[in-house]
C-alpha cells in the first residue's frame, strides 16, 4: 500500500505521517517501521521491498521523507508506484512539492494521498512558547501549546522552536559572550538570564528528552502530541 503526503507545507505533511503511523500501529501492534533514507538508496530497492516476504507474514512500514533529494531514489519510486501500492507492506511517503505529471501519476495509484498547502495568514506567535520555556512558566507554556494546536500548527514546528530555545540556553551556559556562542546578543543575553531558573544539568536533560520524543514520535513508538504535553507537564 502506498500512502502519499505532499505539498508546500512540509510540517503539516509530517504531522499527517505521524497520525497515519499511529493508526497503522493501533490496527496491527507488531508492525515494524523502517526509515528509508534517500541518500542511502540502492538501485532496485523499491521493487525488492515491495515484493519481499517477512518471516511471520506481518507487513512492514517503510517510511521515506523527501525522496526527491536523491534522483535515483525518486525516479524509481515513481516508476514502481503501482507495485508499491499493490504491496502488502505499507509505504509512507512525504514528498514535498510534486510536478504536475508526477502528482497525477502518484495520486492515481496511491492507496491514500493528501496535499498540504501553506496558507498566507497572520500566524500564532510561536516564540511566545520559547519565552514561556525560558521563564520556566509551565502553566503559560501549557496554555500556549493548546492555542498553537487550535491554530493548526504542527507539533514538529512547536518542537523546533522549543529546541531552538534550549539550544541557545545550552550555548549560553558554555560560553562567555554572544560572539563566542555564534548567536545574536539579544537571544544570548535572554538565554543567559533564563539559566538562573534552572538547576545544573536540567536544560541538558530537557533537551535530551525533547529530542527523544521527537524521534520516538516519528518512528511510531509514541504519540508525538501526547508526548510533548507530558514533557511540558514534567518540566
Residue at which a domain ends, from 97, 116, 135:
116
pLDDT of residue 119: 65
Dihedral, 33, 112, 15, 100 alpha carbons, nearest 10? 110
- 141 and 107 together in one domain: no
- Note whether 62 and 145 are same-domain residues: no
Under the banding of pLDDT at 50, 70 and 90, the label for residue 122 is low
Min mean pLDDT across 27-36, 40-49, 73-82, 185-194 is at 27-36
214 touches 224 (CB < 8 A): yes
pLDDT 10s digits, 176-207 = 999 998 988 999 999 999 999 999 999 999 99
Residue (of 16, 234, 22, 233) closest to 146 by Cα position: 233
User: What's the number of domains the chain is made of?
Assistant: 2
Element (H, E) at 61: strand 60-65
Say whether both 30 and 107 belong to one domain.
Answer: yes
147 and 202 inside one domain? yes
Instruction: Tell which of 94, 116, 138 closes a domain.
Output: 116
> Among candidates 24, 23, 27, 18, which has minimal Cα distance to 65?
18
Average pLDDT over residues 4-26: 87
Q: What angle do CA 18, 101, 85 make, to 5 degrees?
A: 45
Last residue of a domain, one of 62, 91, 116: 116
Say whether both 75 and 135 belong to one domain: no
Asked if 31 and 11 sit in the same domain, the reply is yes
- The answer to whether residue 43 sits within a structural domain is yes
Beta carbons of 102 and 13 less than 8 angstroms apart: no
Say if residue 209 is in the same domain as residue 110: no
121 within domain boundaries: no
Tens digits of residue pLDDT in 62-112: 999 888 878 899 999 999 999 999 999 999 999 877 888 889 999 999 999
The pLDDT, as a whole number, for residue 235 is: 87
Domain encompassing residue 95: 2-116
At residue 49 the predicted structure's pLDDT band, cuts being 50, 70 and 90, is very high
Cα 203 to the center of its chain, rounded Å: 22
Judgement on whether residues 112 and 132 belong to the same structural domain of the protein: no
Segment 136-153, tens digit of pLDDT: 999 999 999 998 888 778
121 has pLDDT over 80: no
Amino acid at each position: 500500500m502506498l500512502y502519499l503526503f505532499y505539498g508546500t507545507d512540509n510540517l503539516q505533511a509530517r504531522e499527517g505521517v505521524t497520525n497515519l503511523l499511529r493508526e497503522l500501529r493501533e490496527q496491527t501492534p507488531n508492525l515494524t517501521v523502517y526509515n528509508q533514507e534517500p541518500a542511502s538508496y540502492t538501485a532496485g530497492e523499491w521493487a525488492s521491498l515491495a515484493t519481499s516476504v517477512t518471516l511471520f507474514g506481518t507487513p512492514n512500514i517503510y517510511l521515506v521523507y523527501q525522496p526527491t533529494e536523491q534522483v535515483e531514489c525518486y525516479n524509481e519510486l515513481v516508476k514502481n508506484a503501482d507495485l508499491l501500492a499493490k504491496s502488502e507492506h505499507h509505504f509512507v511517503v512525504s514528498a514535498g512539492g510534486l510536478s504536475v505529471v508526477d502528482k497525477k501519476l502518484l495520486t492515481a495509484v496511491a492507496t491514500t494521498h493528501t496535499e498540504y498547502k501553506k496558507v498566507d495568514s497572520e500566524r500564532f506567535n510561536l516564540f511566545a512558547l520559547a519565552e514561556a520555556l525560558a521563564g520556566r512558566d509551565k502553566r503559560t507554556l501549557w496554555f500556549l501549546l493548546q492555542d498553537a494546536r487550535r491554530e493548526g500548527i504542527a507539533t514538529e514546528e512547536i518542537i523546533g522552536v522549543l529546541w531552538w530555545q534550549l539550544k541557545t540556553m545550552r550555548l549560553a551556559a558554555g560560553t562567555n559572550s554572544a560572539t563566542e556562542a555564534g548567536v545574536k546578543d539579544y537571544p544570548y543575553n535572554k538565554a543567559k538570564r533564563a539559566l538562573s531558573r534552572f538547576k545544573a544539568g536540567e536544560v541538558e536533560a530537557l533537551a535530551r528528552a525533547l529530542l527523544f520524543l521527537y524521534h520516538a514520535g516519528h518512528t511510531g513508538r509514541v504519540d508525538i502530541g501526547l508526548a510533548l504535553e507530558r514533557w511540558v507537564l514534567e518540566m
